[in-house]
Amino acid sequence: MNDDPRRQLEEAGRRPVPAPDPAFAERLEARLLAVAQTPSPSPEPAGPPPTRGQRRQWLALAGLTVAALVLAVALASGAPGGSPRSEPELAAPVNVKVALSDGTVLEIHDGLRLPEGAVVTVGDGGFARIGDTVLRPGDVATIEHGRVNVEHDQPVGAASGTSTATPRATPRATPKGTPAPNRTPRPTAEPTSKPPKPTNGPNRTPKPTATPTAPPATPAPTPSPTPTVEPTPSPSVPPPHLTWRPKLRAHANPAGNRVLVRWTPTRRAASYVLIVTRSRVGAAADPVYPGSRVFRQFETAPQKWIRFRVLDPVVEVRVMVVALGKHGNEVSRSRIAIVTTGGDVTGEGESPPPDVPPDSP
């Protein structure tokens, strides 16, 4: 390419081109005449597209219209984002029972407003609809926060399916009015032949949703009689104060031949790597991770000072701690502490507390 592309384009525009084939020109003219004589039922939108400004205006207008429509639909249907407090209505109920949370059984009719906490149970051959949710025989629907939470009846042994009209983060653990299948199969639990009693364990407090239309269910077989003994933390040992990043402290001993290091425990840290760089002349390069300068890996943050010896020619030591996660990933890292050896102690690390003996391990 020795020429400017623009010049090449100009040249291409000046080149002679073959004239259109006369047969093609005639055919096209005839077709255009035919098109012109046939009445078009609805004229197409303008041939040339609108200019950018017009397009932006139309896009903005369309966006506003869509947003208004979505808002209106959400408000009308009580969808998430709309008004969750609107009471859903029962539609086309057949063999359906509706009980309130206080045990009151409501009279069924089409359009029945379902208050908060109402439990809708569909019997054999029954059917109902709550909003867009269709209930089949055996389904139990609960109204929670204005939303319909449906549990489908499934054969015992199958996984219990819980579906909601609106997505929920976690399935309900509250027992429903119908005999619920085993929610969590427990290998150690004996098979219970008798109807299980609702046992309110110390850690499980199911909602007392009394449903007189069905026998009470239990969330799970009674757990083993051995009560869960929660370890009571000793009041004498305060929990370690976790920091977001290791707070590193480093200093040299008065003789200048040892460096003492410690750091604070860190959140989400499963282990720590202490990295040390020593310099004999002048400032050392920054500690490198990972590399051959890893001093040691620690399971926990040290309760005591960690010390290591520094040979005489070393004039400066830089240390850093990297907190690692469970999978060896880096969670956080400390600042770099610079310790000048040979008796002159400096560094970003805090000065050692007076009660710590510098030579303790």
Contact residues for another protein, defined by CB under 8 A: 1-6, 8-13, 15-21, 24-25, 28-29, 31-33, 35-37, 40, 43-49, 51-52
Smallest gap from Cβ 58 to another protein, in A, equals 14
CB of 28 to another protein, least distance (A): 5
To another protein, the closest distance from the beta carbon of 36 in angstroms equals 4
Closer CB to another protein, residue 19 or residue 169? 19
Nearer to another protein, 43 or 111 (CB): 43
Alpha-carbon distances of 160 from 153, 163, 182, rounded to whole Å: 8, 10, 8
Q: Nearest distance from residue 63's CB to another protein, in Å?
A: 22
* Residues near 141 by beta carbon (within 8 Å), at least 6 away in sequence: 119, 120, 122, 128, 130, 133, 135, 148, 149, 150, 151
Q: Which is nearer to another protein, 50 or 290 (CB)?
A: 50
Residues 218 and 102: their CA atoms lie apart, in Å, by 18
Tokens at 252, concatenated: 């040299």
CB of 33 to another protein, least distance (A): 5
Q: Which is nearer to another protein, 15 or 327 (CB)?
A: 15
Instruction: Give the residue ranges of DSSP H helices in the chain.
Output: 5-14, 22-37, 52-77
211 vs 177: CA distance, rounded Å: 5
* Residue of 252, 245, 246 lying closest to 347 (CA atoms): 252
Specify the residue, 2 or 303, whose C-beta has the smaller distance to another protein.
Answer: 2
